[in-house]
A and B are shown apart, each in its own frame.
Chain A
Amino acid sequence: MRSKTLRMLLSLVLLAAFAAGIVGCLPVPTDVPPKAEEAKPAEVKPTEAKPAEEKPVEEKPAKPYEGVELTLAAMTDQYIAGFRHLIPIFEEESGITITMDELGYVDLYQKLTADFVGKTAQYDLMTVDIVWSGEYATNGYTLPLDDFMARDKEELMLDDIMPVAWTLGEYKGKHYAYPLAGYANVLNYRKDLLEAAGIEPPKTQEELLAAAKALTKDGQYGIALLGAKGSAVAQDYMAWVQQHGGSILDKDGKVAVNTPENVEILKFFGELFKYAPPGSTDYWWDQRETAFRDGMVAMMEGWSIARAGYENPEISKIVGKVDIVPAPVSEGMEPMYGFGGWGIGINASSDPEKQEAAWVFIKWLTSPEIQKEWVRHDGAPIRRSTLTDPDLNKEYPWFPKMLEAFEKGDGDYRPRIPEYSIIQDALGTYVNAYLVGQETAESALQKAQAQIEANIK
Chain B
Amino acid sequence: MKSFALTFRRFFRDDGQYLLLLSPLLIFAVVVAIYPLFFSFRISLFDYRLTDPNQTQTFVGLKNYIRAFSDTVVLDSLKTTLIYVFGTVTLELVFGLGLALLLSAEVRIIRMLRSFLIMPMAIPPLVVGLVWKALYNADFGVIPFYMKALGLSVGHGPLAELKLAMLAVILIDLWQWTPLLMVIFLAGLKSLPTEPYEAAVVDGASRWQSFWFITLPLLKPTMLVALLLRTMQSFKVFDTIYATTAGGPGSATTVLNFHIYTVGMTFFDMGYAAALANILLVVIAVLSIIYIMVLERQQF
**A contact residues vs B (CB 8 Å cutoff):** 110, 113, 117, 135, 138-140, 227-230, 277-282, 287, 290-291, 294, 296, 421-422, 425, 429-430, 432-439, 451, 454-455, 457
Contacts and interface: CB of A to CB of B under 8 A. Distances in A.
A280 B139 CA distance: 9
A146 B50 CA distance: 27
Interface in B33-56: 49-53, 55
B250 A438 contact: yes
Contacts of A113: 50-51, 268
B139 A291 contact: yes
Contacts, number: 101
Nearest to A297: B139
25 contacts: A113-B50, A138-B53, A229-B245, A230-B248, A277-B138, A279-B137, A279-B160, A281-B160, A282-B248, A287-B139, A291-B139, A425-B262, A425-B267, A429-B248, A429-B251, A430-B250, A432-B249, A436-B249, A438-B162, A438-B249, A438-B251, A438-B252, A451-B73, A454-B71, A457-B49
B156 interface: yes
Contacts of B245: 229
A13 to B, nearest CB: 20
Majority DSSP secondary structure for residues of A touching B: helix
B276 to A, nearest CB: 13
A33 B249 CA distance: 36
Contacts of B205: none
Contact of B266 (A287, A425, A436, A439): A425
Contacts of A454: 71
B247 interface: yes
A282 B138 contact: yes
A294 B140 CA distance: 10
Interface of B: 49-53, 55, 71, 73, 137-140, 144, 154-157, 159-162, 245-252, 254, 262, 265-269
Contacts of A228: 246, 248
Nearest to A422: B267
Nearest to A138: B53
Given A282-B156, A436-B156, 9 more contacts: A117-B51, A279-B156, A281-B160, A287-B137, A429-B248, A429-B251, A432-B248, A436-B160, A438-B249
Contacts of B49: 457
Contact of A280 (B71, B156, B267): B156
B161 A436 contact: yes
